Structure 1
Amino acid sequence: MKILDWYILKRYLVTFLFTLLILIPIAVAIDIAEKIDKFLREENLTLFEVVNDYYKNFIIYYANTFMPLALFIAVILFTSKLANNTEVVAINSSQISFTRFLYPYFIGATIVCVLALSMNHFFVPSSSKTRKAFEREYLKKKKYADKSIREFSLQLNDSTYMFLQTFNLKSNSGNYFSTEVYDGIQLKYQLTADNIRWNEKDSTFKLSTWKKRKIFKDRDSIFSGNSLDTTFAFTPKDFNYKNIMAQEMNSPELIEFIEISKKRGVKNLNVYLVELYKRTSLPIACYILTLIAVVLAHKKRRGGVGLNLALGISVMFIYVFFLKVAEVLGGVAGANALLNVWTPNIVFGGYAIYLYINARK
């Protein structure tokens, strides 16, 4: 049985890698055709930068994205070939149960799942940071240059709050800044400034035309000045609550960011929670998709590999559709992000178990 297990496992992994290597060049070719004009208009942009900073990380991102699709297609392809060559019939004739037949498939699914988990939680976010920086620099400069926030407030801890009227994320400067400390509902300390600028090199803020006020029981103490360099428990990245930021943080950083944001009173963090949860749910789907693919393809059909592939791709696109809908619904304020992200796996997991029970009979 070990020979058969190794034979199926080898076919599983080889076909998976082959399918992935077919899909990636297609994605790269489409992206090059789309962005070639933007690359050529940048006089200082070199071929090495395009390949090393953008397309190397582009391939890492899309290889990870295409893993479930490549896995599903690969299992259908080589299992259909086993069925057409009557190899599955020979295995059944040897009194090997369908459950035992699945054993090498699930070993392969485990290998791919572990690889996908490590990539999703650690490698892809780090890669995305470099790719997104390249996009902001050369592909989306105008859009990024206009990025600014207005009327922004942030709770730093149980008693401290900060306010900004405007802040430009490109120049790292803003106007009409204020931070306040309360004892219950009583104001105890206030620091205001007409202008604020972030110094990334020193990780400090420079305040211009500032005023500091300390409130006591019987008097107030007020100080003022033209310029003040100081630090706060926040940085400009805390002003930009966007999904793109979640994609650039590895999972420990993302978990820490979510916890800090909860303490600061940020109301809707579902976009970040969806990103965190799907990093685990997608790799786990390898088991579900493998089981569905084997059940659909293990019987010899009159239509051959083409019919099995058509059925499989239809199921796969339905799964992807439900996955995208679940992500959108999970990001809505008040929604249960964990339940929404895992709903496609729960539904298709039930479908996989139903197919398995019928196939085992």
Structure 2
Amino acid sequence: MPSTIDRYIFREITIPFLLGMTAFTGALLMGRFLKIAEMVVAKGVPLSKICLLIAYLLPSFALVTIPMAFLLAILLAFGRLSADSEIIAMKASGVGLSRLMAPVMAFAVITAISTLAIAVYAVPAGNTSFKELLTKAIEGNTDLDIRERVFVDTIPGLVIYVESYNSNSRTMKGVMIQDDRKPENPLTIFAGRGTVSIDTRSRRAHLLLEGGSIHNIHEDSYRLVNFREYELNLKLDQSIRAISRNELDMSLAELNAGINGSAKDPRLRKDMELEYHRRFATPFACFVFALAGVPLGIQNRRSGKGGGFAVSIGLLIVYYIVLSAAKTAGEKDLLNAALAMWLPNVIFLALGGWFFFRSAQEKSVLGPLAPAAIADFFVKIFSGAGKTR
């Protein structure tokens, strides 16, 4: 049966955890939402599909935000308990630091299991559904998405620029088209005006250009053709770029099969191996953050919530820098894939153990690296220099 202290600490962690999840998810969503708006909203996709696309992205966000929010919650909760001297009161009542870790570890188990389930099942399903819905949304578009004074490259190998465009009459003025669909024979087309007509059944667009010229530069030759009328036929299906599946969209069974030989490309096999181990290493980070977060939160007496947030962001930045460096080393075969993905956890687990040991002894968790110790070190150096003179 959980004691009153367990329930109290558990509740103290829960509220900042939910707030942290909301804040971190919103921050990650803003960056992706701009891309979704650029790719989808301009093509007239309904709001319901846009919301569904965002929902499919949430599992990949949660894989990162759950450990982040958990660390923030621990630092804020124990920072508040320490600032109000409640930690001192608990210790005076015979409640040691190891006993305070029990509810934190229980919360870590919940977050780790949730993150593991999301990594194994929700992320590949969400990524696959996102790409499928995005493809269907683009396929449903029956326009060239021509905009005034914007270089439109909806169709691969073709860039269209117009000075003015009337969407009602579908008339253009000041047209420039760069046609690189045949790389060996690139064309640059200029026209004073033009008209666009769309055949929705055949999904074809017809551009009737008037009063212009075609410029062709091939090797050492240059050719100029002036025209009164020039018709350009385009197939709208070409505007659908192939959205291929990668290791992030694969289930554990698919990753395992690719690692064991079905993936012919060595680089793809390495990426699949790294992704396989990442899906287990990321949930384990919850236990690492629990061990490191509690002593750091207790030490953070004076700076309050702002200090807790700053410490959490700093620790997360260092963690993900180490993770990124280890992953790069794994991609370049400098490290084994399993070691590359688990190395940050091993390093921070050892660091967290050191923090916990020093905190249990009522010492500064940073020891000789603490700001006060560093300041005292420099004071001694400069005072010694002054005496020498």
The structural deviation recorded for 1:8 is: 1.0
Compute the displacement of 1:331 (Å).
Answer: 1.9
- The 1:113–1:131 alpha-carbon spacing in structure 2 relative to 1, beyond 3 Å, is same
1:78 corresponds to:
77
> Which residue number in structure 1 is paired with residue 271 of structure 2?
271
The C-alpha deviation readout for 1:52-101, integer Å capped at 9, x for no partner, is: 1x111112221222112111111111111111121111111111111111
**CA distance in 2: counterparts of 1:67 and 1:334, whole angstroms:** 30
Q: Counterpart in 2 of 1:324?
A: 324
SS at match of 1:357: helix
More off after superposition, 97-106 vs 65-74: 65-74
1:75 and 1:116 map into 2 onto residues whose CA distance is 17
Residue in 1 aligned with 2:295? 295
**TM-score of the superposed pair, with normalisation by structure 2:** 0.62
Alignment of 1:19-98 (within 5 A): 19-43=20-44, 45-52=45-52, 54-98=53-97
User: Residue 353 in 1 paired to residue 365 in 2?
Assistant: no
Distance 2:88 2:155 in 1: 60
1:1-361 to 2 correspondence within 5 Å?
A: 2-43=3-44, 45-52=45-52, 54-135=53-134, 245-261=246-262, 266-268=265-267, 269-299=269-299, 301-333=301-333, 335-361=335-361
User: Which amino acid in 1 is paired with 2:12?
Assistant: R
Sort the Cα spacing of 1:12 and 1:335 in 2 relative to 1 into closer, same or farther, 3 A.
same
Gaps of 5+ in 2: 142-152, 158-241, 362-389
Q: Hey, what's the Cα distance between the residues in 2 that align with 1:297 and 1:59?
A: 29
Q: Distance in 2 between matches of 1:87 and 1:144?
A: 64
Which secondary structure state, in structure 2, belongs to the residue aligned with residue 95 of structure 1? coil
Backbone CA RMSD of aligned residues: 2.7
Q: Tell me if structure 2 keeps the 8 A contact 1:125–1:247.
A: yes
Note if contact 1:296-1:312 (Cα within 8 Å) is conserved in structure 2: no
Contact 1:38 1:138 in 2 (8 A): no
- What does residue 160 of structure 2 align with? none
| Range with bigger deviation, 15-24 or 273-282 | 15-24
* Alignment CA distance shift 1:143-1:316 (3 Å): farther
Q: Deviations over 1:218-270 (max 9, x none)?
A: xxxxxxxxxxxxxxxxxxxxxx9x8x5111111122212322427xx654421
Contact conserved, 1:258 with 1:272, CA < 8 A, in 2? yes
Higher mean C-alpha deviation, range 280-289 or range 8-17:
8-17
> Which range is displaced more, 61-70 or 348-357?
61-70
For the structure 1 residues 139 and 272, does the alpha-carbon distance in structure 2 shift closer, same or farther, using more than 3 Å as the test? farther
Shift of 1:34: 4.2
SS at match of 2:354: helix
* Separation in structure 1 between the aligned mates of residue 154 and residue 330 of structure 2, nearest angstrom: 27
How far off is 1:355 after superposition? Answer: 0.7
Work out whether residues 82 and 88 of structure 2, in 8 Å CA contact, stay in contact via their aligned partners in 1: yes
**Quick one: distance in 1 between partners of 2:116 and 2:291?**
19
Which runs of 5 or more residues in structure 1 are unaligned? 147-239
Deviation at 1:137, TM superposition (A): 5.7
| 8 Å contact from structure 2 (residues 16, 73) kept in 1 | yes
Q: How many residues align?
A: 262
How far off is 1:37 after superposition? 3.5
TM-score by structure 1 length? Answer: 0.66
Contact preservation (8 Å) 1:330, 1:336:
yes
Q: Given the superposition, is the C-alpha separation of residues 139 and 31 from structure 1 closer, same or farther in structure 2, using an over 3 Å criterion? A: farther
- Are the equivalent residues in 1 in contact too, given 2:300–2:308 (CA < 8 A)? no
SS of alignment partner, residue 299 of structure 2: coil
* Per-residue CA distance 1:117-176 (angstroms, 9 max, x = gap): 111011111111111334456689979968xxxxxxxxxxxxxxxxxxxxxxxxxxxxxx
> In structure 1, what is the equivalent of residue 371 of structure 2?
none
Give the CA deviation at 1:23.
2.1
Secondary structure in structure 1 of the residue aligned to 2:287: helix
Q: Do the aligned partners of residues 300 and 338 (structure 1) sit closer, same or farther apart at CA in structure 2, a change above 3 Å counting?
A: closer
Alpha carbons 1:19, 1:73 under 8 Å: kept: yes
AA in 2 matched with 1:337: A
CA displacement, residues 326-351 of structure 1 (integer Å, 9 cap, x when unaligned): 12221224641111111111111111
Which letter does structure 1 place at the counterpart of 2:61? Y
Q: Is contact 2:80-2:301 (8 Å) kept?
A: no
Name the amino acid aligned to 1:70. A
